[in-house]
């Protein structure tokens, strides 16, 4: 069985199928990944349709920009997470592979192209996220809102999930998104309170909690995600889960951190699948309506299934 880096699979031939693992050279770590990090990279007709549609409409996906290990599974199921507002982020989080720098001007035609892609792919559930755009007065909230509106115009039966940044605590920006009533309002907490200043230096733990609280007060079904393996303890992870439940967060995703390059934060620990299963049980007991927890879980993994549980 051959193991090859993710970047070498970006142009796999049609219909190909290979089992891959994130090698130490791929994730930039001397730690050898456990056996459960093998994924089958199959580029079937649905995968290629998603890829070609995104390319034709000049759209970005977080699936590619964040090097998601589930891309093949999701794209073969005709699901993808749209990345709007460009592919350059104004923040530098030490776990994230999205490029940091000065973004391009806002593309006001992008919402229409996202809507066209949703229609072309026949999506039943669309997940829309963005880079941080801290240089914009509203953090990009207006483009989120326009994308929701355009998508609903072309695909009224499609449910919509938005994964938003913190908008630097701008409550008016949050309200701009919430007034469009996406079925799920997602904002990822990502890590524990103690590690927030070192891992997400331009974010604030309490600001993220407050955003989710405000979204709940505006009538949203709320969701958040937690990444394990960046130096936290299980008790600290549980504290995050409790903090999320205090503000009424409905859905949580919990996954394992994988170091994208040698320039990013090293993996502190690989959690066993049994530990993820335990956190799922505890999350359900805490009152989350849905807990998606496992080593390969990412924020949008099985997102369509979470709509019916919310």
Give me the average pLDDT of each 10-residue run along the chain (310 residues): 31 45 41 75 76 88 69 67 92 88 95 95 91 96 98 96 97 98 97 96 97 98 97 98 98 93 92 97 98 89 67
Query: What pLDDT is attached to residue 41?
Result: 67
- Residue 27 has what pLDDT? 41
Query: Are 269 and 255 in contact, with CB atoms under 8 Å apart?
Result: no
Name the token pair of 98: 């999205």
CB of 164 within 8 A of CB of 184?
Answer: no
Return d(Cα 49, Cα 78) in angstroms, integer: 8
Q: Would you tell me how many other CB atoms lie within 10 Å of the CB of residue 7?
A: 9
Tell me the H-state helices in 127-203: 141-154, 171-178, 196-199
Rounded Cα–Cα distance for residues 136 and 214 (Å): 21
pLDDT of res. 50:
80
Residue 266: the pLDDT is 94
DSSP secondary-structure letter at 173?
Answer: H
Location of structure tokens 């309506």: 289
Residue 275 neighbours by CB distance under 10 Å: 18
Q: In what order do the strands lie in the sheet with 60-61?
A: 60-61, 81-84, 125-130, 159-163, 184-186, 222-228, 251-256, 290-293
The domain ranges of the chain are 1-42, 44-186
| Predicted local confidence at residue 68, as pLDDT | 67
Distances (CA, A) of 91 to 165, 168, 171, 195, 199: 11, 11, 20, 16, 11
Element (H, E) at 279: helix 273-286
pLDDT on residue 234: 97
- Residue 43 confidence (pLDDT): 73
Q: Which two tokens stand for residue 151?
A: 């998508």
Considering all CA atoms of the chain, what is the largest pairwise distance in Å, rounded to the nearest integer? 53
Name the DSSP class of 95.
T
Determine the pLDDT at residue 70: 66
Task: With beta carbons less than 8 A apart as the criterion, state whether 97 and 264 touch.
Answer: yes
Closest by Cα among 119, 106, 3, 141 to 57? 119
The pTM of the full predicted model, rounded to 2 decimals, is 0.86
């Amino acid at each position: 069985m051959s193991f090859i880096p993710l970047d070498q699979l970006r142009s796999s031939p049609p219909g190909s199928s290979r089992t891959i693992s994130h090698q130490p050279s791929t994730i930039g770590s001397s730690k050898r990944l456990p056996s459960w990090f093998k994924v089958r990279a199959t580029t079937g007709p649905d995968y290629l349709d998603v890829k070609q549609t995104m390319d034709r409409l000049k759209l970005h996906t977080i699936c590619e920009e964040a090097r998601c290990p589930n891309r093949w599974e999701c794209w073969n199921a005709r699901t993808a997470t749209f990345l709007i507002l460009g592919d350059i982020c104004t923040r530098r989080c030490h776990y994230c592979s999205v490029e940091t720098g000065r973004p391009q001007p806002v593309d006001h035609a992008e919402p229409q192209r996202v809507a066209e892609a949703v229609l072309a792919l026949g999506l039943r559930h669309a997940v829309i996220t963005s880079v941080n755009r801290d240089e914009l007065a509203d953090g990009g909230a207006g483009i989120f809102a326009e994308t929701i509106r355009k998508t609903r115009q072309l695909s009224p039966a499609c449910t919509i999930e938005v994964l938003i940044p913190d908008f630097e605590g701008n409550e008016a920006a949050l309200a701009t998104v919430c007034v469009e009533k996406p079925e799920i309002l997602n904002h990822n907490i990502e890590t524990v309170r103690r590690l927030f200043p070192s891992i997400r230096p331009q974010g604030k733990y309490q600001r993220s909690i407050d955003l989710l609280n405000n979204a709940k007060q505006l009538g949203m079904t709320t969701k958040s995600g937690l990444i394990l393996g960046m130096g936290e303890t299980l008790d600290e992870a549980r504290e995050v889960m409790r903090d999320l439940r205090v503000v009424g967060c409905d859905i949580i995703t919990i996954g394992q951190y994988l170091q994208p390059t040698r320039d990013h934060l090293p993996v502190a620990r690989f959690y066993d699948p049994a530990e993820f299963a335990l956190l799922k049980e505890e999350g359900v007991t805490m009152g989350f309506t849905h807990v998606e927890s496992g080593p390969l879980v990412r924020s949008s993994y099985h997102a369509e299934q979470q709509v019916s549980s919310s």
